[in-house]
Amino acid sequence: MRILLVEDDQMLGDGIRAGLMQQGYAADWVESGDAAETAMLTNEYEMLILDLGLPGKSGIEVLKDVRAKGNDLPVIILTARDTVEDRVLGLDSGADDYLTKPFELDELTARIRALIRRRGGRSNPVIEHKDIVVDPASHAVKKEDNVIDISPREFTILLLLLENLGKVLSRNRLEEGLYAWNEEVESNTVEVHIHHLRKKLGSDLIRTIRGVGYIIDKE
């Protein structure tokens, strides 16, 4: 899952980015609204985490522009501004959630999971597909009640395909979900992970659409 973090505080930005990466998210971190807009032009994100007090364009202005362009990606505001008026303004400007500093990373990632879940039209926090059960919170994967050992990158690909059930995702789209800017993209890596996932979860789970990408079919 690719996340864009907009935060002008160096220590906080670095800490949140590292924490998100550790949780298996591909997190890009920028320090201004202008940089955020450039990033959104060149990458497809599943989530925007937005500070409000930024140099230049404010977080609220960035948010309003995102919504004015018809971009419906989930947005969590992360800010020290904690008055009722601030929260109302943020939510009414198009944010999906609002978290005030100081906060715990565990709460931020739980809110990320909740928003991704709702976006996928699910209420159950655990994803069940045929004989496979995936828990985004614990990263646990089971097949026919057996725990399957899968790597963080394999998990990311599996989750992306399950969250987009019935849709073909291109190799490029999967790569974007795997790697942030500062990470080196290995060639053929998506193919290798898919190969491993098929070995562990069954060869018919993920279907290749030649020249287009990969899909997990709806039941």
Binding interface with Ca ion (CB under 5 A)? 8, 51, 53
- Tell me how long the chain is: 219
5 or 134: CB nearest Ca ion: 5
In the DSSP assignment, the letter for residue 169 is B
Residue nearest to Ca ion (CB): 53
Nearest distance, CB of residue 181 and Ca ion, angstroms: 21
Directed axis angle between helix 33-42 and helix 59-68, to 10°? 30
Contacts of 85 (CB under 8 A, 6+ apart): none
56 or 120: CB nearest Ca ion: 56
Nearest distance, CB of residue 95 and Ca ion, angstroms: 15
Dist. CA 125–CA 114, nearest whole Å: 8
Nearest distance, CB of residue 35 and Ca ion, angstroms: 13
* Residue entry with tokens 């039941």: 219
Dist. CA 218–CA 161, nearest whole Å: 11
Q: What are phi and psi of 33, to 5 degrees?
A: -65, -40
Secondary structure class of 19 (helix, strand, coil): helix
52 or 197: CB nearest Ca ion: 52
Distances (CA, A) of 66 to 28, 40, 63, 69, 186: 17, 9, 5, 5, 32
28 or 51: CB nearest Ca ion: 51
Nearest distance, CB of residue 165 and Ca ion, angstroms: 37
Nearest distance, CB of residue 33 and Ca ion, angstroms: 11
8 or 175: CB nearest Ca ion: 8
